[in-house]
């Protein structure tokens, strides 16, 4: 399968591509009826050259929650020739919701999955993909809180896996996580760790949290009563993954 100049949208200058073009390409790529939430499109040149076009969907793809072992959605091209779906090699499992295209100028056309696993150039592309996605989410969190709330609702629990899996980016991931708290509005996961730290009482030197099987159980936990009486905010963690990452 060869992508010619007309169909290889990612090879065109960004200034020539409209949002509608990106959305149409996303739908054809992902077979998603809905729109992408956000995307990033970058051309990298230097020791090696490649193009990244990465999309975050509005809603979870069918394999985003469970497809840790056999993942699809990130297609590898080499000089516009489709090679394989290489999600496992090019993105960590906690970013398995990402869809998109990686087009390398330098990898050999006869590359195999086995070669991809130990290839230095692939490792560099993988690191770039992770950085671009985290940069995109950072920007979304700062610039569009409503859209970021949609992301958290759809993929917040999947992103939490990165705390345990990606030690190099743990601090960046932690800043993107959102939780309910004793001072938030209902069970909405809107409180960041920076928000919490900014509201800590004078002399408070710890982040307090409680884990439970549901929001109601967490909010009503007797362990929080004394802290709440003193005005100390408590994070309410009631998703199954929370006990794994705490």
pLDDT at 5: 44
Tell me: the pLDDT tens digits for 130-149? 999 999 999 999 999 999 99
Average pLDDT (24-32) is 92
**Residue 96 in 3-state DSSP?**
coil
Find how far residue 236's CA is from the centre of its chain: 22
**CA angle, residues 159, 184, 227, in degrees to nearest 5:** 105
- Phi and psi based region of residue 170 (left: phi greater than 0; alpha: psi -120 to 50; beta: remaining): alpha
155-160 long-range contacts, CB within 8 A, separation 24+? 155/56, 155/60, 155/64, 155/97, 156/189, 157/65, 157/239, 157/241, 158/60, 158/64, 158/65, 158/94, 158/96, 158/97, 159/94, 159/95, 160/94, 160/239, 160/241, 160/242, 160/245
pLDDT at 75: 94
Average pLDDT (174-202) is 93
pLDDT at 35: 95
List residues bridging with 75 in a β-sheet.
85, 101
Query: What does pLDDT average to over the chain?
Result: 90
pLDDT at 127: 96
pTM reported for the whole predicted model: 0.90
- 66 has a pLDDT exceeding 60: no
Cβ atoms 106, 50 nearer than 8 A: yes
Nearest CA to 164 out of 61, 60, 243, 66 is that of: 243
pLDDT at 4: 47
Average pLDDT (213-228) is 91
Cα separation, 149 vs 187, in Å, equals 13
Structure confidence at residue 106 as a pLDDT band (50, 70, 90): very high
Strand pairing report for 81-85 and 74-78: antiparallel
Structure confidence at residue 157 as a pLDDT band (50, 70, 90): very high
Distances (CA, A) of 173 to 98, 177, 235: 15, 7, 17
**Residue 213 in 3-state DSSP?**
coil
pLDDT at 246: 63
pLDDT at 100: 96
CA torsion sign for 185, 186, 189, 194 is: positive
Backbone angles phi, psi at 237, to 5 degrees: -110, 115
Cβ atoms 61, 30 nearer than 8 A: yes
**Residue 54 in 3-state DSSP?**
strand
């Amino acid at each position: 399968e060869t992508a010619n100049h007309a169909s290889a949208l990612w090879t065109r200058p960004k200034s020539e591509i409209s949002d509608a073009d990106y959305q149409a390409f996303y739908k054809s790529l992902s077979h998603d009826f809905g729109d992408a939430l956000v995307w990033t499109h970058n051309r990298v040149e230097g020791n090696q050259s490649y193009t990244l076009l990465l999309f975050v969907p509005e809603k979870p793809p069918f394999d985003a929650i469970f497809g840790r072992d056999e993942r699809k959605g990130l297609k590898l091209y080499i000089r516009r020739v489709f090679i394989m779906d290489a999600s496992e090699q090019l993105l960590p499992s906690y970013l398995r919701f990402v869809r998109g295209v990686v087009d390398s100028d330098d990898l050999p056309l006869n590359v195999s999955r086995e070669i991809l696993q130990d290839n230095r150039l692939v490792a560099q592309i993988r690191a770039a993909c992770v950085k671009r996605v985290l940069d995109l989410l950072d920007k979304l969190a700062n610039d569009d809180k409503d859209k970021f709330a949609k992301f958290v609702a759809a993929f917040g629990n999947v992103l939490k896996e990165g705390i345990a899996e990606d030690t190099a980016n743990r601090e960046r991931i932690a800043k993107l996580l959102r939780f309910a708290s004793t001072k938030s509005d209902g069970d909405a996961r809107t409180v960041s760790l920076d928000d919490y730290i900014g509201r800590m009482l004078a002399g408070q030197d710890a982040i307090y949290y409680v884990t439970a099987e549901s929001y109601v159980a967490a909010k009503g936990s007797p362990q929080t009563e004394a802290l709440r009486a003193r005005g100390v905010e408590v994070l309410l963690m009631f998703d199954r993954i929370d006990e794994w990452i705490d």
